Amino acid sequence: MNNVQTDLKRVVFPNIIHFINRILNTGVHEANGIARNRQIRTVNIAGVVGGTVSLMFSLINTCLGNYLLALINICTMACLYSMVYFNEKKKYDLGPMITMPVCALQLSASALIYNNNMELYLLLVVCLSLILLNNKWVMLALGIFSAILLGVTHRLAPITVIHQATEARRIMNAVIWLIMLLFCLYYFRLQIMAYTKELEESNRQLNVANKTREKLISILAHDMSSPINTLFFMLDLLQEDMLSGKDFADSSRLLILQAKNLQENMDGLLQWCYTQMKGIAPQPVHFNLVVLIEEVITFLQPQLQKKHIQLQNDIAQYSCIIQADQEHVRLIIRNLLSNAIKFSYREATIVINMEEKSDEVIISVADFGVGIAANIQEKIFAADNIYSTPGTGNEKGIGLGLSLSQEFAQKNNGFLSVLSEEGKGSTFSLHLNK
């Protein structure tokens, strides 16, 4: 007995559910869109439920000896089931357009012959036409046709009756009609709510996708323009013969290093963009944070030399291995150092430091430049508030570096903090879990 019950749960029931879902999703295709697929499913549900109810009535009438009424029920069942067939053939509008008038005539015929309150079901035809039909003129014509048929049938049924239905049967038909009408209206309400929810979710996903695309473009603009400008600056010096032979050799080495770093940066950034097209999801790996910071410092060396800024590197004695998205952390450090250079005066000093705790590591970048006003400090990390000011050398930015860096830090279970005083400088700290 237990084995039979287990087989029912594992084999029979899942197959039955799969079969029902397959029937209800007949004609559903992704290319149709959300609204159209919901309408197709509704047509299938109406056809299956209505056809099954008609089948039930045909069996009851056959048992009671009402063979003519059973024949009408079978015809109604065939019409309703045919809507699923039309969906299978992708004749989505043709099924309801044919089935609804035919069902209305059959319901009217049943009411005229038996006076069994079946004319009430014409209201269901009107409700279903509002849900299942797209053409407003066909919908209007069917509504008017059903309303006229309802009025005429209700008036003539007591006169044209051939086999009077019992009062119990009339009450049963009316109760079933009321239940189906309420179900139809409730289902229609659920469909509207579900469709609205799907639209809202689609809009949310679209907004996320748009913001992600904007962030990717912002990263490219923010992180590629500075090194390219540095390359142009060095090339201008070479062209104007402002460098001695020794300086030329040193500059050539820097240019080669800059070009290699730029190429590596482009490759890494493009690879990162490729992996992030569906959202900014971190790809954590283990890496040496100190080595990464040293690479960023080397990359930004031309900008430091341009403003004759001294970088005090206090992290050389550390060797810190963390698990995070390496490209995310690289972008954060680069943004913090680039901003420190941007807002430092010529011949100033920038200090980069690291503090290791039991559960986190803190990288701090301190400059002694213009500083940030207290009311602005609250805005600089906000993703929806782009705030940009020129640097001490009139360097331009797009105002997204810090907000992007904060989001990258949070995606890696960290965060950015700032301590700043206007006119005295700023210290930005990156907090990451070890």
If you average pLDDT over every residue of the chain, what do you get?
Answer: 80
List pLDDT tens digits, range 280-325: 678 889 999 999 999 999 888 888 888 889 999 888 777 888 899 9
Q: What is the band of 227 on the pLDDT scale with cuts at 50, 70, 90?
A: low
Question: Who's near 426: CB < 8 A, 6+ residues apart?
Answer: 340, 343, 366, 367, 369, 371, 372, 418, 419, 420
Contact by Cβ (8 Å): 392, 369: yes
Q: In the prediction, which pLDDT does 192 show?
A: 77
User: What is the rounded average pLDDT of the residues 118-138?
Assistant: 81
> How far apart are the C-alpha atoms of 294 and 311, rounded to whole Å?
11
List pLDDT tens digits, range 354-393: 988 888 899 999 999 888 888 787 777 765 555 567 777 7
What does the block give as tokens for 15?
């197959």
Q: In the prediction, which pLDDT does 361 show?
A: 92
Share of the chain above pLDDT 90, in %: 12
Length of the chain: 434
List pLDDT tens digits, range 197-224: 888 888 887 786 677 667 656 656 655 6
Q: What is the band of 398 on the pLDDT scale with cuts at 50, 70, 90?
A: very low
Instruction: Write the CA distances from 229 to 63, 239, 300, 305, 390, integer angstroms.
Output: 91, 15, 12, 14, 16
> How far apart are the C-alpha atoms of 232 and 251, rounded to whole Å?
12
